[in-house]
Structure 1
């Protein structure tokens, strides 16, 4: 009778393509513009970007992006996904940009921005998943 071998179970991890530095910088520039449209304060930007320093945020707004760590690229990617979903859902740009600050039944009448300001990447991902489900993506 053959011997059974125990195999350690691991969680399925889909392959995630690496975001290049050029792509990260492009997303950072886009997020600077997006946050202006969302009327995000510098303090809120720091939280949404995982504790980005005020000095670094000021450099970003001036166009000097620099190197972006992997976890920050993930935040930027999710924020861009939220923007994309909103632009698909709403044909009116003002409604799309204003959505993040309006109370939302899906979040217990809390605006999506307040959810994202929880500070964790998973808070941003929660909003993105919701929007992706709404748009059917």
Structure 2
């Protein structure tokens, strides 16, 4: 019997969907996820408050601890980071590097954002908003 890859998110295929409810999976993914998160926040020139908000409003001291040791992140945090990585990737496919890195903080007239920047929208709406931004960008690049 043939197996088919599971499509866990637009543009990503997994042999199996990572089970983020399992601590072993979260332990394995946490350090690289946090490293990627900090690389993105640096490229996007985000303030500490913005970075904290994107991770669900974690305390400032917790964010600073992540820089030296990510520990085991929660399912919620890993999902947020996953969406941010997808958004980052899509932006760099669609735009030049400079525009891609500014896009989240620039005014955007797309009705989705209701007059706020994509970053403000993501902070205000959390995971559902990150998912919507990701879907919007994936649609703009043809779903690849």
Kept in 2: contact 1:27–1:76 (CA 8 A): yes
2-side partners of 1:32 and 1:47: how far apart? Answer: 13
Number of corresponding residues: 122
Q: 2:100 is matched with which residue?
A: 96
1:1-137, aligned counterparts within 5 Å?
Answer: 16-19=17-20, 20=25, 21-61=27-67, 63-90=68-95, 92-106=96-110, 107-137=113-143
Q: Is the 8 A contact 2:31 2:69 kept in 1?
A: no
Give, in whole Å, the separation in 1 of the partners of 2:76 and 2:51. 15
Whether the aligned pair in 2 keeps the contact of 1:32 and 1:60 (CA below 8 Å) is: no
> Cα RMSD between the aligned structures?
1.8
Q: Partner of 2:65: helix, strand, or coil?
A: helix
For normalisation by structure 1, the TM-score amounts to: 0.80
Instruction: Flag structure 1 segments of 5+ consecutive residues without an equivalent.
Output: 1-13
Deviation, structure 1 residue 72: 1.0
Q: Which runs of 4+ in 1 moved over 4 A?
A: none
Q: Rg: which structure is higher?
A: 1
Summarize deviations over 1:36-89 as a string: whole Å, max 9, x none.
Answer: 11111111111110122211110123x311011111111110011101101111
Structure 2 runs not aligned, ≥5 long: 1-7, 9-15
Tell me, yes or no, if the aligned pair for 1:48 and 1:119 is still in contact at 8 Å. no
Q: What CA distance in whole angstroms lies between the structure 2 residues aligned with 1:70 and 1:109?
A: 30
Deviation at 1:110, TM superposition (A): 2.5
Q: TM-score, normalised by structure 2?
A: 0.77
